[in-house]
Homo-oligomer: A and B are copies of this chain.
Amino acid sequence: MKEIKGTIASPKGFLADAVHAQLKYKNLDLGLILSQVPAAIAGVFTTNKVCAAPVLIDRQIVKKGQARAIICNSAVANAVTGEQGYANALKTQKLLAEKFELKAEEVAVCSTGVIGVQLPMEKIATGISKLSQNEGTAAYFAKAILTTDTQTKTINFEAEIGGQIVNMAGVCKGSGMIHPNMATMLAFITTDAKIAQALLQKTLSEIIETTFNQITVDGDTSTNDTVLLMANGQAKNNEILEGSSDYLLFKEMLAKVCQSLAKQIAADGEGATKLIEVTVKGAPNDLTARFIAKKIVGSSLVKTAIFGADPNWGRIISSIGQVANFEVSDIELKLQDELVLYHSTPVDFDAAFLSEKLKEDKIEIIADLNAGSGLGQAWGCDLTYKYVEINALYTS
């Protein structure tokens, strides 16, 4: 398996495009992913009870398990928009289906942006009419889905699976925010692997737990969060079957794609200057390890300490203690590979030296709880003045 350069349309049989539909002032804002043949589609959605209209539609598509296209707009979230919002999402689906001669129920729809505002359907219609199946425009897609993200987020892998080179591509946006909205995370993954939809969904659901669900920028879950994964079989590999070595490789590739995208989102968190990676070892089980890791990386006190390059280990230990449901009396803690706590006892360390190391743009926190073999990781970012500025100063 190796990482390669590419776009979301690099897997065989996929095309992608994007246009400026005038939802944003001047940037690309309407993107398309199209599979030339029907693809198995798997998806995972926000658990927010207030979910956007497109999420309702996509849940149905994933339930049926087959799709040809994904249409995604930025700038307007189509959330808290009532019946008209739902009708607009259906209309978007229909317009795209007509344009490319697809069935409407094979078109997934995604939106990210302002809450409580209706989609401007004339602009959407005009935008859709301009989308094409030309090659060479696939890289635009990654730009069209951004809101206040500072950079595009993509990843491509290939591996030999079932006798063929199988490609997988991922693109996502996250942590951007548009007034009056909250961060939305959207991720799209394409692969030309041949794999049954049920297994695809099972694998995605499993991997989400250790990747996208382990990032946090500000602890809030959006109304629109969506991960969609399409597999169109055009690599012509022998079908990937559960339990096979091919499956393990495919699963590893999907995990790498999801982890890469998740970390890119964390690193581009609003106002972030540093990516924080927390590894918890020695927990009673993996689930507990992940839970503790996420608590640490989500702690405002830890996040501000990291911003200030302050080796403030007390805050990390306190985070562990808050969520541990077992004895934590033998903790070993490392910051940037420097030991600061051993057998739960403070270790003398060179604070100035460690503070310098905490100025790097990737911060590693490793806690060994010596209470089992559970392992978990989580990713986040520091909490900065810029975060407050971005989120406070819309109207004033």
A contact residues vs B (CB 8 Å cutoff): 47-51, 79-80, 82, 114-116, 177, 179-183, 218-223, 298-301, 304-305, 307-315, 317-322, 324-328, 341, 344-346, 351, 355, 383-385, 387-389, 391-396
Bound complex: CA A177 to CA B312 (Å): 12
Contacts of A313 on B, CB cut-off 8 Å? 116, 180
Known: A114-B314, A385-B385. 10 other contacts (CB 8 A): A49-B321, A50-B318, A79-B314, A80-B341, A82-B344, A180-B313, A310-B392, A310-B393, A383-B392, A387-B388
* Pairwise interchain contact A345-B82, C-beta atoms closer than 8 A: yes
CA distance A45 to B235 in the complex (A): 60
**CB-contact partner of A220 in B49, B301, B341, B346, under 8 A:** B301
The answer to whether A48 touches B318, judged by C-beta atoms less than 8 angstroms apart, is: yes
Judge whether B318 and A220 touch: CB under 8 Å: yes
A106 to B335, CA, bound (A): 42
With most chain B CB atoms within 10 A of its CB, the pick from A49, A315, A344 is A49
Assembled-state Cα–Cα distance A324/B394 (Å): 27
CB-CB < 8 A to A305: which residues of B?
A: 391-392, 394
In the bound complex, residues from chain B placing their C-beta under 8 Å from that of A384 are: 388, 392
Q: A219-B299, A315-B182, A346-B116 are in contact. Are A391 and B48 (CB under 8 A)?
A: no
User: Using Cβ atoms and an 8 Å threshold, which residues of chain B touch A115?
Assistant: 314, 317-318
A396 in contact with B355 given A317-B115, A321-B48 (CB within 8 Å): yes
Residues of B near A345 (CB, < 8 A) are 80, 82
**Cβ of A315 and Cβ of B220 under 8 Å apart?**
yes
Given the complex, which residues of B lie within 8 Å of A325, measured CB to CB? 49
Check if B220 sits within 8 Å of A300, measured CB to CB. Answer: yes
Q: Point out the residues of chain B lying under 8 angstroms from A312, CB to CB.
A: 179-180, 394
What is the CA–CA distance of A49 and B327 in the complex, to the nearest angstrom?
7
Q: Which residue of B lies closest to A114 (CB)?
A: B314
Q: Which residues of B contact A391 (CB under 8 A)?
A: 300-301, 304-305, 308
Whether A318 contacts B221 by the Cβ 8 Å rule is yes
Which one of B219, B324, B326, B355 contacts A300 once the chains associate, using CB atoms below 8 Å?
Answer: B219
Contact A315/B180 with A351-B395, A388-B385 known, Cβ cut-off 8 Å? yes
Chain B residues contacting A79 (CB-CB under 8 Å) are: 314
CA distance A384 to B393 in the complex (A): 11
Are the C-beta atoms of A223 and B321 separated by less than 8 Å? yes
List 10 A–B pairs whose Cβ atoms lie within 8 Å, in order of A's numbering: A80-B317, A80-B344, A82-B344, A179-B310, A219-B219, A220-B318, A300-B391, A304-B391, A310-B396, A311-B395
Asked if A220 and B310 make an inter-chain contact with CB atoms under 8 angstroms apart, the answer reads no
Contact B221 A322 (CB under 8 A): yes
A385 to B344, CA, bound (A): 33
* Assembled-state Cα–Cα distance A385/B335 (Å): 26
Instruction: Quote the shortest CB–CB distance from A85 to chain B (angstroms).
Output: 11
Once A392-B308, A396-B355 are accepted as A-B contacts, the answer to whether A80 and B346 lie under 8 Å apart by CB is yes
Minimum CB–CB distance for A338 against chain B, Å: 14
Please indicate the chain B residues that have their CB under 8 angstroms from the CB of A47 in the complex.
322
Query: Once the chains are docked, how many angstroms separate the CA of A385 from the CA of B395?
Result: 17
Contacts of A182 in B (CB 8 A): 301, 314-315, 318
A328's contact among B50, B177, B317, by CB below 8 Å, is which? Answer: B50
Shortest Cβ distance from residue A280 to the other chain B in the assembled complex, whole angstroms: 14
The reply to whether B395 and A304 contact each other, CB–CB distance below 8 Å, is: no
Closest B residue to A314 by beta carbon equals B115
Distance in angstroms from A21 CB to nearest chain B CB is: 22
